[in-house]
């Protein structure tokens, strides 16, 4: 009997070591995916917007990304329903049409996200990729402030210090760029630094508010993240089409919806559509520190790549500002100290537990459910 127990314990330890090794590998894979997604989207948008020749309509690209995102989420929901189309249709009618009041709550963040996606194209078209990547980290500041105001979240002293460093770093980069506009923006006839800066600041503000608002909605609902993305996508597509008609209606009617689309443009759209969904799945294996490290590393990747692709000039001032931002992002992602205070500590622990539950739910939603779990769905 004792031999059997020892054998069982040995097998459990071996299985535990094997699982630990798998999780370690998945963390490294998560880091790579997060870095590539963060850096490649910005660099690819910048690249396609600076190429000579016919330019695609950014409003149509936003709409196309929303459509692809909705289709992807519908496929995932269909997998959840074990490829039962009828069951999926009845389910979607119930959560989207019958519970229309719940669906309408998504109109506000959807409007903001659509605006944000369009503004990102404007900002990246007028700013160097590295400058945009650094400045766009202001969304951490706006998200933190809205979280404190709307969700009553508490921030540790280290997080407040990191936000100040973040603001200082972005300010230094902007001062450097202001004195070096000619080097950072080659073709001043087509690119306007001020327009790009205003666009990225508004995008950061909208990102912070929409993210916190969406989190508040998710916490008060049992709907899966995929259903929420379908609801967001429906509004996003409608609002995107409205924006397309308002801004480029005549030109699209004359030249076509897909005017200027190349293989590289399609890569950008696919990255924008699937990147967020991919990260939602990958984040299950990535803690906050890893996410912060990935964001910091992607800034370095964007800067180095910009030097070779776009002739971006890096001096001491930019390096100092970017260094402050990278350090601030990493500091903000650090967990709160256990002895900081009783209330924040318990709040942090509860938040961490809730985040883990949300991640598990997202991953479970991504996979088809087996018969034994059907009742729980």
- Which residue is it, tokens 């992807």? 72
Residue 242 has a pLDDT of: 92
Backbone torsion region of residue 84, taken as left when φ is above 0, otherwise alpha when ψ lies between -120 and 50, otherwise beta? beta
Q: Which domain holds residue 50?
A: 26-178+191-335
Q: Is residue 340 part of a domain?
A: no
**C-beta contacts of 254-259 below 8 A and 24+ residues apart:** 257/57, 257/60, 258/56, 258/60, 259/54, 259/56, 259/57, 259/60
pLDDT in tens, 43-77: 888 888 878 777 889 899 999 999 999 999 999 89
* Residue 330 belongs to a domain: yes
The yes-or-no verdict on residue 245 having pLDDT over 70 is: yes
What is the predicted pLDDT for the residue at 144?
87
Q: Is residue 11 part of a domain?
A: no
Residue 350: inside a domain? no
pLDDT for res 301: 84
Is 152 part of a structural domain of the chain? Answer: yes
Report the number of distinct structural domains present in the chain. 1
Give the three-state DSSP class for 324.
Answer: helix
In a domain, 77, yes or no: yes
In this prediction, what percent of the chain has a pLDDT beyond 70? 72
Task: Read off the pLDDT of residues 265-284 as tens digits, 9 standing for 90 and up.
Answer: 999 999 888 876 776 666 55
The reported pLDDT for the residue numbered 332 is 82
CA terminus-to-terminus distance, the chain:
41
What is the average pLDDT value for the chain, to the nearest integer?
A: 77
Which range scores top for mean pLDDT: 2-11, 61-70, 104-113, 339-348?
Answer: 61-70
Cβ count near 18 (within 10 Å): 10
Give domain status of residue 309, yes or no. yes
DSSP one-letter string for 83-131: T-HHHHHHHHIIIIIITHHHHHTTHHHHHHHHHHHHHHHHHHHHS-HHH
The answer on pLDDT for 347 being more than 70 is no
Residues 6+ apart with CB under 8 A from 358: 218
In a domain, 166, yes or no: yes
pLDDT at residue 172 above 50? yes
Give the model's pLDDT for residue 6. Answer: 52
Which tops the pLDDT comparison, 292 or 155? 155
Residue-wise pLDDT for 175-184, tens only, equals: 777 665 544 4
Higher pLDDT, 100 or 283: 100
Q: Does 158 score more than 90 pLDDT?
A: no
H-helix segments, the chain: 2-50, 58-80, 85-92, 100-104, 107-126, 129-135, 138-150, 157-178, 181-184, 193-219, 225-255, 263-282, 288-310, 316-333, 342-366
Torsion, Cα of 63, 64, 65, 69 (10° steps): 100
Decide: residue 97, CB within 10 A, 0-12 exposed, 13-18 middle, 19+ buried.
Answer: exposed
Closest-CA residue to 273 (of 75, 93, 94): 75
């Amino acid at each position: 009997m004792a031999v059997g127990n020892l054998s069982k314990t040995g097998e459990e330890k071996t299985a535990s070591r094997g699982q630990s090794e798998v999780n370690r590998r998945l963390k490294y894979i998560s880091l790579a995916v997060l870095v590539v997604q963060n850096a490649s989207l910005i660099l690819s948008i910048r690249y396609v917007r600076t190429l000579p020749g016919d330019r695609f309509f950014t409003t149509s690209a936003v709409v196309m990304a929303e459509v692809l995102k909705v289709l992807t989420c519908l496929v995932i929901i269909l997998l959840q329903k074990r490829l039962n189309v009828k069951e999926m249709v009845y389910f979607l009618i119930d959560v989207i049409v019958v519970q229309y009041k719940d669906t309408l709550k998504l109109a506000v963040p959807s409007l903001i996200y659509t605006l944000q996606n369009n503004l990102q194209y404007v900002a990246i078209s007028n700013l160097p990729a590295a400058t945009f990547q650094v400045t766009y980290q202001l969304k951490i500041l706006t998200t933190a402030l809205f979280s404190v105001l709307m969700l009553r979240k508490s921030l540790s002293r280290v997080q407040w210090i990191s936000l100040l460093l973040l603001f200082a770093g972005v300010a230094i980069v902007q001062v450097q760029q202001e004195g070096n506009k000619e080097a950072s923006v080659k073709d001043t006839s087509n690119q306007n630094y001020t327009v790009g800066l205003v666009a990225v600041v508004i995008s950061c503000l909208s990102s912070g508010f929409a993210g916190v608002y969406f989190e508040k909605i998710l916490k008060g609902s049992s709907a899966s993240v995929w259903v929420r993305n379908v609801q967001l996508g429906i509004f996003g597509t409608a609002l995107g089409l409205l924006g397309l008609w308002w801004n480029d209606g005549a030109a699209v009617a004359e030249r076509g919806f897909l005017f200027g689309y190349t293989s590289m443009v399609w890569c950008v759209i696919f990255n924008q559509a699937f990147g967020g969904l991919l990260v939602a799945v990958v984040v299950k294996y990535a803690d906050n520190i890893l996410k912060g490290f990935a964001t910091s590393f992607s800034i370095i990747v964007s800067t180095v790549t910009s030097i070779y692709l776009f002739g971006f000039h890096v001096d001491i001032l930019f390096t100092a500002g970017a260094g402050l931002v990278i350090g601030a992002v990493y500091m903000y992602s650090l967990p709160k100290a256990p002895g900081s205070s009783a209330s924040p500590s318990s709040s942090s622990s509860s938040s961490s537990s809730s985040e883990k539950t949300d991640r598990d739910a997202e991953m479970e939603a991504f996979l088809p459910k087996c018969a034994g779990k059907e009742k729980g769905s």
